[in-house]
Structure 1
């Protein structure tokens, strides 16, 4: 999660909120790829979670951040005296913390998946070098397989205290989302309002396909949880006011304004003034704009309030000045590169995007929601419009592959970006997701234990 911003420019009208999003438009020649992934730190000695200050004989999350700062020279991000992230030079990426210590790389905006892969490899090499002296490793999967909520540490980030207090009021699994999940996502650009709408609709409709293909979270608290993507299931009852499939995005006349209207109706978490986070959880952004927020009488909305508010909305695809694909579990390194490749092939090639729209445009809101609800449990066996997800996914993956081939962005060896789809092609060829393979290992050679996952899915 990127750092919260501070921009004291006052907001005078809703049109300014719309214009802020519209300012993200850019020509195709300037389209970029921003990949983010999270991972669970753990002590290799006993597979315990890593607290912020560490434990006897070993550093913790603070030591990891300080070590990465020394290694990279990046700017520290500080909250109430605690380092809680790092910012790269010239907006070139960031390292941040999720509430339970999940270590996140928010990658720089890059031109190709080859560059994304190189960025990922460099980051993993750096973080391993810093973590090794502390006996810390990293596991990448969608949900924490071992630790209870009570065993999971909380990071000293002010906004997380506000969110942790609010989450149980609006859903049963918000704390699990905060403390016990990891994702990989990609942020992609749009050229115009119409381009945004087409990409938003296609990516919303196909987000359950990413959920199934990247499912890696069949465990919770040392046992099978009954789902292939527990992370995705957790989102179904986190806070339905701010998450989900955005059915209105398929309405005639969908626009920046329609998204802004939806966002304005989602309750806020906080208002940041200076370095202080004011708990206004449940309050209306419209009231803040009107200077009528009861928690902060007379205080009016600034542009930073709007940007921070947009960052606390959690639909399956999120609109800011780019589109964020949010449906996938984290996974091994090859899957972390496959996720941006999958979406770039579909959304950055006009032919693939149009073909994908032709594929999904006949699905109703009820069908899309039904697929969203079924995918976390059934994976490739979920169905829509009488067809199995796995069958349609083969067509979708071919659209992506062809789109990447037409992009023709080649590495030094002459390969285009479609090489990064290989693990997804293997999943569809075998008919087994990573989650299903992990379940088979649990029932077989692991002897009903989940601990081996920390070795087999270590980054």
Structure 2
């Protein structure tokens, strides 16, 4: 989860106000931007342990020291009860996932060349700070070695609330928090009709993206048989807020219908006076009508709504932009390929129409069945009588055409995906081959080869 934004204290008067909150994200085409987010696991070079926030061991530094080192390079710290838990600069931010996964939420940028440069700068600066502390980073979809109890917890108030709530609603919610990493991109829409097309297309193809970016075959030093263990974890996290919402594919869907869906998602918290107030299990609809149980003086605000929307974990999330959330993080080339894929499909009218034609006839039951099959089967999973690897070739051809139409020479960023679609060898397949050949069965060797 990203760092909290500025709270808007405007009282919520009616449901239309919430639909207008989403609609305010609509932008003319020349204002469309690309924002890319990517997480990675820190590890100590000495023993491959995940670094703590602030270790008790004398002479050992942790995540806090890395944040402070980056702050010295011109980033402004974000504090939680006096602890630096993030950084911000020029529209970008650095934040911490619950287990210390280090996340860059990139600035909204005009093209993929800028995305590539931003990533390179971040990785260089982070390595320059973390390296002398004996810490490095590996972008992998699921932690390949650590048990859940081995992972540290970052000192964010919201994570304490979620830590208590997750086991009530799903068997792997804590694994999602502590042991997974993703890459996602955030893209704009022109108006409500454009949002509907983009959301339907990206939800329909999100399982394809999950298969293409599969990069989490290992758990606790063992080969799990999964292509993307992270994909499986998300299916066992919290059914009230994850997956593919059927409402998106219903006739008449738009901002107001999505508001109705989000209103019934249970809340995690509200923030008042710099502190998080536990609101777990209460729907936002109930909160609007009755206040919080035991705290009827707390009334719903637009800022509460904005925070609540960030706790809806659908495979594609609608905010004031669209977030593509289905991919394991991977190599730097795969990090940039992720926004390239979606920009190619969604930022050119002809490509978007071709994409919608590609998925025509895929109903919600088929999409959900595909989503369930992909974590193990990857590109061998099937939909509408076709193997995903075949669908991938078509989708990539459409995306390449969309990038070509932009005229900015961005097509090269799709090259790693073309190689996967042609060979069928995903990042997960590559690591599995290494495990059973050069590594001699030792999963720990992945850190040296995945390090960025």
What is the TM-score of this pair, normalised by structure 1?
Answer: 0.97
Contact 1:291 1:301 in 2 (8 A): no
How many Å separate the matches in 1 of 2:238 and 2:27?
A: 32
Say whether residues 1:129 and 2:128 are aligned partners. yes
Structure 1: segments with no counterpart, 5+ residues: 410-415
Could you tell me how far 1:432 is from its partner in structure 2? 1.0
Say whether residues 1:62 and 2:55 are aligned partners. no
Alignment of 1:162-173 (within 5 A): 162-173=161-172
Contact 1:50 1:101 in 2 (8 A): yes
Query: What residue is the counterpart of 1:458 in the other structure?
Result: 451
Deviations 1:267-292 (A, max 9, x none): 00001102110111101212221243
Could you tell me how far 1:433 is from its partner in structure 2? 0.7
Say whether residues 1:449 and 2:442 are aligned partners. yes
Query: What residue is the counterpart of 1:177 in the other structure?
Result: 176
Which among 429, 435, 444 is matched to residue 422 of structure 2?
429
**What SS does structure 2 have at the residue aligned with 1:253?**
coil
Say whether residues 1:44 and 2:37 are aligned partners. no
Could you tell me how far 1:440 is from its partner in structure 2? 1.2
Alpha-carbon RMSD across the aligned residues, in angstroms, is: 0.9
Query: What residue is the counterpart of 1:419 in the other structure?
Result: 412
Say whether residues 1:376 and 2:375 are aligned partners. yes
Deviations 1:142-188 (A, max 9, x none): 00000001100000000000001000000000000000000000000
Structure 2: segments with no counterpart, 5+ residues: none
Could you tell me how far 1:369 is from its partner in structure 2? 0.8
Deviations 1:314-337 (A, max 9, x none): 000000000000000000110000
Cα pair distance change 1:405/1:59, threshold 3 Å: same
How many Å separate the matches in 2 of 1:294 and 1:208?
A: 38
How many Å separate the matches in 1 of 2:152 and 2:169?
A: 22
Contact 1:284 1:293 in 2 (8 A): no
Contact 1:291 1:299 in 2 (8 A): no
What is the TM-score of this pair, normalised by structure 2?
Answer: 0.98
Deviations 1:51-96 (A, max 9, x none): 000343231000000001001x22211001110000113xx11000
Contact 1:113 1:417 in 2 (8 A): yes
How many Å separate the matches in 1 of 2:435 and 2:294?
A: 50
Structure 1 runs (4+) deviating above 3 angstroms are: none
**What SS does structure 1 have at the residue aligned with 2:327?**
strand
Alignment of 1:254-265 (within 5 A): 254-265=253-264
Count of residue correspondences: 450
How many Å separate the matches in 2 of 1:396 and 1:197?
A: 19
Query: What residue is the counterpart of 1:413 in the other structure?
Result: none
Deviations 1:422-443 (A, max 9, x none): 1111111211111011111111
